[in-house]
């Protein structure tokens, strides 16, 4: 049985052994007549504490005490009242009928002379998800929105959002939202910011509501920013993205006025402020103003790296994003992203991605020294990623390819198995990017054949052997070695082996003759993999009917590869910049793919909007240049997001359904038992940012895999 | 915003659970326990399942978890969780399992006050302590001046209460700098920067308006973007009395618009101690210690160390609690060392030789030479050579060169006040690769 361990010291003397006994004892304690000397209701408090403790442990037996707790609400003591209210909020849904008996008490407290009491009662009454409660709150809320005390007014403002959560039709059919709107003119800054937060909350959940802030309103709320709490400032800044500048000067002026917030110590204020400035830049035409603003964004962003690791991580993920939209931010700051030895792994991995993005011809030596250091770190996944980054840099920065390759060879020389394998994979890509340039290093690779045991590395090596079969002296022997274990290889390796053998045969027919016959037979006869069989048959027919065509196809020119795959697509980038600092930026995926029910934010049309500067517009222009035939390319943005939502819709639906079942009453045991099962097919819907990758979907075994949001994967 | 807050101990037992929205189901606690606490593979602070996100931080031996639905403002969630920890610390001394267990009712009370519908409300300790107290008795008394409290909690000066009186008006300013250094094996400085903070303890009566003055020449990073100009500027920046700060963050009480306009830091301080500002500096960082490390792997059986550390500050100053961690390979069997000062000891659990010097006088140079004998290993994995690291604290020295020139206090009653300033430089992450 679950026992609240923490009451053992001091509070508990003897514990009853049966559930009923426990409830009975607590009831007795709670209802015991108050001793005259006990002016502060000490014994009642202890009884209630025990009840609350049991409640935390999800001990549902405590529901039985509901009527007694309602009784205790009458005690004129604030502490007791607070505990009773907590109990009420927790169990009202389970026992709505009992909860109703407490309603008159709460309604009475709404008229209390003490503003703290009024606010407390209002807060509590609006937490209860029972129809009668919600209906009974509407009238008092209207009154309390005009309460003389600002503390009560701000509580009432949030209360409207809560009521909307309980029953949106009730709120929409009443004039509550209009009244909430009026609160924006309140004299107290806290009330204004609370009203804005409440409005934003309602807006987030309803497509039918439009939130528009005009310049004079925006200007007014910016005015009161300094007088708000750090949270209030965040709410106001958050709401400012609903303001659509009609004029480029307006946008510039407003951005200028909020820049002091960048020096705030609270990172929520800073990141939200950065979001608003980035948003407003879309409406500015003066490049000098934009450049000046960009220069101001960099220092605060870097300063966030001296905060807790979680905030650092968030700042780094956002830096990845901002860098793509406004490369001038952070341009000179590569060193601040060098890893500290004790950084948590998720911070290190993101720093690595940033280093990769910021690397250029000028700082390449510095970067390579740093990456080389990471490649020998203890964390295998991180080390591999560092090796991979070096290889990608060779592809990204052409003039520096040579230095990158020499560093890779140094790493291969360490003979650490996973480093060699990773290096093999990236060297293969280097060969593809720079054909016929660096073949001299093939011999070094061939020395380490024995240490390859991962499919990806094997496949890469086999590809190299096949591609350069005529230049590697003993290519037939090397391939034969690999072929020995044909039956045990993965399909991926088998496919590469098949192609490589055909390549060998085409380049050196005498040496490859026996091998190719053997492999083609295996591929066509001994396999149950359709891809392999199809490819085998195709080669066979090609080779037997038209050898020159086979050569053309198999040894044909390959399209060049680039390192651009790490960039976000323009539509995602545009959307992400509107949600800087939120969870979606951690995953760097369109909001809809992660959070189905979230409302999508879009850049609103206005005369001031600099459409030509938007990433989506530029991408569309580029596409137009590429295929001049296609005249009218539709705007990419809306369609894109829609397709995403349909793709992921079912999966997320399923996930939500799962959570709904998990929380249901009476399903407690069932919900628990089904947990392991759900993880099995939960792999598609779990987004996790773990040690290894930037973002990945988690398979139950948590193997290394190519996360979709992973910027450094091929 | 937040749907709920959960607190767990290390074993995964639920200590606190508070729901703020309908979508916060009790069973989510089990989900977090299974997916995060008992899952050794997860090392990320954020986990999203369906549209539910768990954001967690750890403090001492507890997990503090914020549960949210939809695309919540992650910065806000983490800042709130940090705030909760610091609130807990100021209420209970420390915020660990023990403290939560013995004060759980108060934790619930606090949560109810600082979050409404999952939106953080006033979290200023000073104000909260007026009406949420460890002693139930006090909250009765506080009821009398409830409207004062509500004004305080919603007002522009939420961090300071009225009518504070001290017989002796004093203010203490602590400038604390963490200097970070990363030196490559070849001796080049890869990064050297300073994270500074100015902590203030204000015991001042009434509503004092404070003005804070730093070095005469205070430059703030914005102009660092033009690399052509850098070399020319360096010369005069190095001049005495100037300091270049890359960026500053200021406490809620500082008037940010004044700061943006003319770099004056003016504020009405909260009562007691608070962090006035934090700053970062990367230019002209004075490194207190220069480390020269030679480490040779002799064959497969031995590593030889020769470490020399020189103190770069004035000979009248001295650093205390200097600790140098010199990593040794994992298969170290035994070490021997000779040192010119302090004590050195091989710590097998840390895989390092730990060299402690209680007092390190300025301009002095101390050396350590050591040998680590290695036991034979079947696998021949190369030693990753983690960096050598240092810890120290050094009074009356700032690595950035920051100085407090004045602190003026203006108050209606015009009392005189005493101000004290202290400087300290500590090692942040002071690492030397070899």
Measured distance CA(B169)–CA(B190) in Å, rounded: 45
Question: Considering CB atoms only, which of A161, A311, A691 is closest to B117?
Answer: A161
Closest CA to A353 of A563, A573, A561, A589: A563
State which H helix or E strand residue B149 sits in: helix B146-154
Cα-Cα-Cα-Cα dihedral of A337, A343, A344, A350, to 10°? 10
Question: Considering CB atoms only, which of A114, A165, A662 is closest to B146?
Answer: A114
Residue A589 has a pLDDT of: 87
Which residues have a Cβ under 8 Å from the Cβ of B150 and sit 6 or more positions away? A115, A116, A119, A149, A150, A151, A152
Note the pTM of the prediction, 2 decimals: 0.82
Per-residue pLDDT of chain B (434 residues; tens, 9 = 90+): 899 999 999 999 999 999 999 888 888 999 999 989 888 887 789 999 888 999 999 988 999 999 999 899 999 999 999 999 999 998 998 999 999 988 888 999 999 999 999 999 988 888 888 888 766 444 444 455 777 777 777 776 777 877 788 999 999 999 999 999 999 888 888 889 999 999 999 999 988 999 988 876 777 654 443 333 333 333 333 445 678 888 888 888 888 888 888 788 899 998 888 889 989 888 889 999 999 999 998 888 889 999 999 999 999 999 999 999 999 988 888 899 999 889 999 999 988 999 999 999 999 999 999 999 988 876 666 787 889 999 999 999 999 989 888 899 998 888 888 999 999 999 999 999 88
Measured distance CA(B70)–CA(A579) in Å, rounded: 12
Residue A18 has a pLDDT of: 56
Measured distance CA(A225)–CA(A258) in Å, rounded: 8
Measured distance CA(A220)–CA(B306) in Å, rounded: 65
Closest CA to A494 of A451, A474, A524, A473: A524
Strand partners, B198: B175, B277
ipTM score for this prediction:
0.82
B334 inside 8 A of chain A by CB: no
Residue B221 has a pLDDT of: 59
Average pLDDT estimate for A324-336: 85
Longest dimension (CA), chain B: 79
Residue A59 has a pLDDT of: 65
Task: List the single residue in A with minimal CA-CA distance to B14.
Answer: A57
CA distances from B119 to A234, B123, B234, B385 (A): 11, 11, 47, 47
Question: Considering CB atoms only, which of B49, B184, B195 is closest to A655?
Answer: B49
8 Å CB contact of B227 and A332: yes
Tokens 């050794």 belong to B40
In chain B, which residues have their Cβ closer than 8 Å to the Cβ of A90?
A: 19
Measured distance CA(B278)–CA(B255) in Å, rounded: 15
A549-582, pLDDT tens digit by residue?
888 888 888 777 776 656 788 888 999 999 999 9
Closest approach of A551 to chain B, Cα-based (Å): 44
Q: Are B354 and B322 in contact (CB under 8 A)?
A: no
Residues A70, A72, A75: CA angle, nearest 5 degrees: 130
Q: Are A519 and A495 in contact (CB under 8 A)?
A: no
In chain A, which residues have their Cβ closer than 8 Å to the Cβ of B381?
A: 416
Residue A453, CB-side half-sphere exposure with 13 Å CA sphere: 4
Residue B1 has a pLDDT of: 87
In chain B, which residues have their Cβ closer than 8 Å to the Cβ of A682?
A: 49
Tokens 């403790």 belong to A53
A 511-570 residues with CB below 8 A of B? Answer: none
Question: Considering CB atoms only, which of A314, A342, A370 is closest to B74?
Answer: A314
Judged against a pLDDT cut of 50, whether residue A157 lies above it is answered with yes
Residue A474 has a pLDDT of: 84
pLDDT greater at residue A72 or residue A654: A72
A 153-192 residues with CB below 8 A of B? Answer: 154-155, 158, 161-162, 165-166, 188-191
B59 inside 8 A of chain A by CB: no
Average pLDDT estimate for A144-150: 91
Phi, psi of A5 (to 5 degrees): -55, -35
In chain B, which residues have their Cβ closer than 8 Å to the Cβ of A191?
A: 154
8 Å CB contact of A595 and B70: yes
Measured distance CA(B353)–CA(B324) in Å, rounded: 8
Measured distance CA(A253)–CA(A280) in Å, rounded: 10
Judged against a pLDDT cut of 50, whether residue A482 lies above it is answered with yes
B221 inside 8 A of chain A by CB: yes
Q: Are B193 and B281 in contact (CB under 8 A)?
A: yes
A151 inside 8 A of chain B by CB: yes
Average pLDDT estimate for A447-469: 87
**Tokens linked to A587:** 């995953």
8 Å CB contact of A655 and B51: yes
Which residues have a Cβ under 8 Å from the Cβ of B13 and sit 6 or more positions away? A5
In chain A, which residues have their Cβ closer than 8 Å to the Cβ of B244?
A: none
B 348-367 residues with CB below 8 A of A? Answer: none
Q: Would you tell me how many other CB atoms lie within 10 Å of the CB of residue B287?
A: 16
8 Å CB contact of B104 and A53: yes
Q: Are B390 and B323 in contact (CB under 8 A)?
A: yes
8 Å CB contact of B146 and A115: yes
Q: Which of B150, B268, B431 would best serve as a mutation to test chain A binding (most A beta carbons within 10 A)?
A: B150
Q: Which range, A178-182, A232-236, A554-558, has the best average confidence (pLDDT)?
A: A232-236
Q: Are B279 and B313 in contact (CB under 8 A)?
A: no
8 Å CB contact of B70 and A655: no
Phi, psi of B113 (to 5 degrees): -80, -40
B134 inside 8 A of chain A by CB: no
Residue B310 has a pLDDT of: 94
In chain A, which residues have their Cβ closer than 8 Å to the Cβ of B275?
A: 265
Longest dimension (CA), chain A: 109
8 Å CB contact of B71 and A584: yes
8 Å CB contact of A234 and B389: no
Closest approach of B180 to chain A, Cα-based (Å): 9
Tokens 């954020």 belong to B46
8 Å CB contact of A308 and B278: no
Which residues have a Cβ under 8 Å from the Cβ of A253 and sit 6 or more positions away? none
8 Å CB contact of A345 and B249: no
Task: Compute the count of residue pairs across chains A and B with CB atoms less than 8 Å apart.
Answer: 337
End-to-end CA distance of chain B: 47
CA distances from B414 to B165, B209, B411 (A): 13, 11, 5
Residue B233 burial (10 A CB sphere; 0-12, 13-18, 19+): middle
In chain B, which residues have their Cβ closer than 8 Å to the Cβ of A155?
A: 116
Question: Considering CB atoms only, which of B75, B82, B120 is closest to A581?
Answer: B75
Which residues have a Cβ under 8 Å from the Cβ of B322 and sit 6 or more positions away? B342, B356, B357, B358, B360, B390, B391, B392
Residue A253 has a pLDDT of: 93
Q: Are A198 and A238 in contact (CB under 8 A)?
A: no
3-state secondary structure of B246: coil
3-state secondary structure of B210: strand
Measured distance CA(A227)–CA(A652) in Å, rounded: 41
Question: Considering CB atoms only, which of A150, A231, A662 is closest to B150?
Answer: A150
Q: Are B154 and A188 in contact (CB under 8 A)?
A: yes
Output the DSSP codes for A93-127.
Answer: TT-HHHHHHHHHHHHHHTT-SSHHHHHHHHHHHHH
8 Å CB contact of A259 and B146: no
Query: How many residues would you count in chain A?
Result: 714
A 320-349 residues with CB below 8 A of B? Answer: 331-332, 335-336, 338, 340-342, 344-346
Judged against a pLDDT cut of 50, whether residue A528 lies above it is answered with yes
Residue A60 has a pLDDT of: 65
Task: List the single residue in B with minimal CA-CA distance to A698.
Answer: B42
Exposure string for B364-382, b = 16+ CB within 10 A, e = fewer: bebebebbbebeeeeeeee
Phi, psi of B354 (to 5 degrees): -105, 120
Average pLDDT estimate for A152-175: 92
Q: Are A239 and A213 in contact (CB under 8 A)?
A: yes
DSSP alpha helix (H) spans, B274-365: none
A10-62, pLDDT tens digit by residue?
343 344 445 567 788 888 888 877 776 666 778 888 888 888 888 877 666 78
* pLDDT band per the 50, 70, 90 thresholds, residue A683: very low
pLDDT greater at residue A122 or residue A660: A122
Judged against a pLDDT cut of 60, whether residue A664 lies above it is answered with no
In chain A, which residues have their Cβ closer than 8 Å to the Cβ of B79?
A: 230, 266-268, 311
Residue B45, CB-side half-sphere exposure with 13 Å CA sphere: 27
In chain A, which residues have their Cβ closer than 8 Å to the Cβ of B329?
A: none
In chain B, which residues have their Cβ closer than 8 Å to the Cβ of A311?
A: 75, 78-79, 82
């Amino acid at each position: 049985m679950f026992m609240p361990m923490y009451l053992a010291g001091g509070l508990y003397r003897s514990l009853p052994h049966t559930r009923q006994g426990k409830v009975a004892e607590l009831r007795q304690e709670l209802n015991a007549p108050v001793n005259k000397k006990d002016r502060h209701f000490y014994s009642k408090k202890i009884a209630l504490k025990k009840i609350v403790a049991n409640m935390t442990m999800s001990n549902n037996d405590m529901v039985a005490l509901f009527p007694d707790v309602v009784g205790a609400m009458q005690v004129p003591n604030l502490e007791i009242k607070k505990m009773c209210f907590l109990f009420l909020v927790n169990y009202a849904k389970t026992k709505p009928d009992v909860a109703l008996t407490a309603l008159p008490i709460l309604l009475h407290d709404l008229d209390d002379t003490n503003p703290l009491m009024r606010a407390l009662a209002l807060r509590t009454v609006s937490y209860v998800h029972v129809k009668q409660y919600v209906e009974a709150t509407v009238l008092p809320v209207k009154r309390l929105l005009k309460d003389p005390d600002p503390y009560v007014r701000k509580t009432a403002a949030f209360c409207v959002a809560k009521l909307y959560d309980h029953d949106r039709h009730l709120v929409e059919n009443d004039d509550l939202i209009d009244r909430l709107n009026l609160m924006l003119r309140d004299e107290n800054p806290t009330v204004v910011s609370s009203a804005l937060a409440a409005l934003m909350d309602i807006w987030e959940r309803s497509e039918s509501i439009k939130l528009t802030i005009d310049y004079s309103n925006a200007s007014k709320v910016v005015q009161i920013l300094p007088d708000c709490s750090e949270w209030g400032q965040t709410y106001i800044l958050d709401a400012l993205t609903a303001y659509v500048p009609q004029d480029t000067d307006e946008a510039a002026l407003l951005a200028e006025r909020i820049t002091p917030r960048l020096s705030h110590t609270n990172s929520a204020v800073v990141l939200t402020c950065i979001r608003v400035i980035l948003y407003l830049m879309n409406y500015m035409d003066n490049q000098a103003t934009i450049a000046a603003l960009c220069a101001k964004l960099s220092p605060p962003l870097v300063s966030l790296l001296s905060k807790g690791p979680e905030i650092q991580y968030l700042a780094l993920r956002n830096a990845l994003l901002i860098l793509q939209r406004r490369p001038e931010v952070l341009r000179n700051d590569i060193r601040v992203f060098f890893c500290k030895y004790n950084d948590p792994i998720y911070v290190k991995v993101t720093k690595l991605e940033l280093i990769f993005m910021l690397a250029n011809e000028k700082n390449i030596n510095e970067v390579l020294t740093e990456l080389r250091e990471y490649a020998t770190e203890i964390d295998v996944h991180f080390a591999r990623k560092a090796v991979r980054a070096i290889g990608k840099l060779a592809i990204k920065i052409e003039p520096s390819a040579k230095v990158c390759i020499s560093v890779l060879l140094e790493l291969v020389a360490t003979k650490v198995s996973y480093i060699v394998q990773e290096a093999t994979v990236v060297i293969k890509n280097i060969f593809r990017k720079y054909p016929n340039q660096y073949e001299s290093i093939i011999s070094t690779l061939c020395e380490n054949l024995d240490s390859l045991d991962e499919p990806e590395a094997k496949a890469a090596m086999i590809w190299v052997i096949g591609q350069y079969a005529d230049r590697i002296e003993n290519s037939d022997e090397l391939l034969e070695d690999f072929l020995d274990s044909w039956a045990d290889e993965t399909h991926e390796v088998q496919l590469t082996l098949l192609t490589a053998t055909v390549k060998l045969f085409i380049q050196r027919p005498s040496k490859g003759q026996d091998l190719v016959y053997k492999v083609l037979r295996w591929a066509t006869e001994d396999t149950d993999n359709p891809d392999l069989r199809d490819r085998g048959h195709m080669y066979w027919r090609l080779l037997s009917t038209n050898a020159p065509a086979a050569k053309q196809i198999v040894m044909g020119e390959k399209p060049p590869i680039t390192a651009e795959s790490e960039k976000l697509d323009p539509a995602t980038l545009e959307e992400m910049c509107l949600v800087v600092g939120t969870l979606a930026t951690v995953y760097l995926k369109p909001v809809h793919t992660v959070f189905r029910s979230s409302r999508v934010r879009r850049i609103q049309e206005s005369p001031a909007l600099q459409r030509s500067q938007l990433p989506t517009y530029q991408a569309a222009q580029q596409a137009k240049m590429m295929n001049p035939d296609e005249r009218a390319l539709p705007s990419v943005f809306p369609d894109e997001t829609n397709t995403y939502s349909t793709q992921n819709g079912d999966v997320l639906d399923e996930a939500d359904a799962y959570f709904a079942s998990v929380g249901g009453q009476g399903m407690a045991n069932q919900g628990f038992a089904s947990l392991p099962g759900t993880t099995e097919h939960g792999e598609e819907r779990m987004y996790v940012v773990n040690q290894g990758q930037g973002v990945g979907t988690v398979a139950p075994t948590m193997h290394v895999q190519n996360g979709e949001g992973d910027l450094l994967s091929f | 915003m937040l749907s709920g807050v959960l607190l767990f101990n290390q074993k995964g037992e639920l200590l606190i659970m508070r729901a703020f929205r309908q979508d916060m189901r009790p069973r989510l606690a089990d989900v977090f326990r299974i997916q995060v606490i008992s899952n050794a593979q997860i090392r990320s602070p954020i986990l999203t399942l369906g549209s539910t996100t768990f954001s967690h931080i750890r403090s001492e031996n507890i997990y503090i978890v914020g549960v949210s639905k939809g695309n919540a403002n992650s910065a806000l969630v983490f800042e709130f969780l940090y705030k909760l920890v610091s609130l807990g610390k100021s209420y209970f001394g420390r915020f660990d399992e023990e403290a939560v267990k013995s004060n759980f009712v108060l934790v619930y009370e606090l949560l109810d006050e600082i979050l409404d519908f999952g939106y953080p409300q006033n979290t200023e300790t000073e104000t909260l302590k007026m009406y949420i107290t460890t002693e139930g008795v006090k909250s009765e008394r506080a009821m009398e001046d409830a409207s004062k409290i509500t004004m305080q909690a919603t007002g522009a000066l939420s961090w300071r209460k009225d009518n504070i009186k001290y017989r002796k008006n004093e203010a203490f300013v602590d400038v604390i700098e963490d200097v970070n250094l990363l030196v490559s094996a070849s001796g080049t400085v890869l990064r050297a920067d300073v994270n500074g903070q100015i902590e203030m303890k204000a015991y001042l009566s009434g509503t004092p308006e404070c003005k804070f003055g730093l070095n005469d020449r205070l430059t703030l990073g914005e102009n660092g973007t033009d690399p052509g100009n850098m070399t020319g500027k360096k010369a005069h920046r190095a001049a005495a009395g100037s300091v270049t700060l890359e960026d500053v963050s200021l406490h809620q009480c500082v008037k940010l618009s004044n700061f943006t306009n003319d770099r004056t830091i003016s504020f009405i301080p909260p009562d007691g101690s608070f962090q006035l500002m934090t700053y970062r500096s990367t230019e002209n960082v004075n490194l207190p210690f220069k480390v020269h490390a030679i480490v040779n792997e002799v064959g497969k059986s031995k590593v030889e160390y020769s470490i020399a550390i020189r103190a770069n500050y004035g000979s009248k100053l001295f650093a205390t609690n200097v600790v140098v961690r010199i990593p040794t390979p994992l298969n170290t069997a035994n070490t021997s060392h000779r040192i010119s000062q302090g004590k050195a000891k091989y710590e097998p659990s840390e895989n390092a030789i730990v060299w402690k010097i209680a007092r390190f006088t300025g301009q002095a140079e101390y050396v350590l030479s050591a040998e680590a004998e290695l036991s034979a290993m079947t696998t021949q994995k190369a030693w990753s050579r983690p960096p050598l690291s240092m810890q120290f604290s050094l009074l009356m020295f700032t690595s950035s060169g920051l100085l407090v020139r004045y602190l003026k206090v203006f108050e209606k009653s015009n009392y005189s006040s005493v101000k004290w300033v202290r400087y300290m430089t500590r090692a942040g992450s002071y690492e030397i690769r070899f």
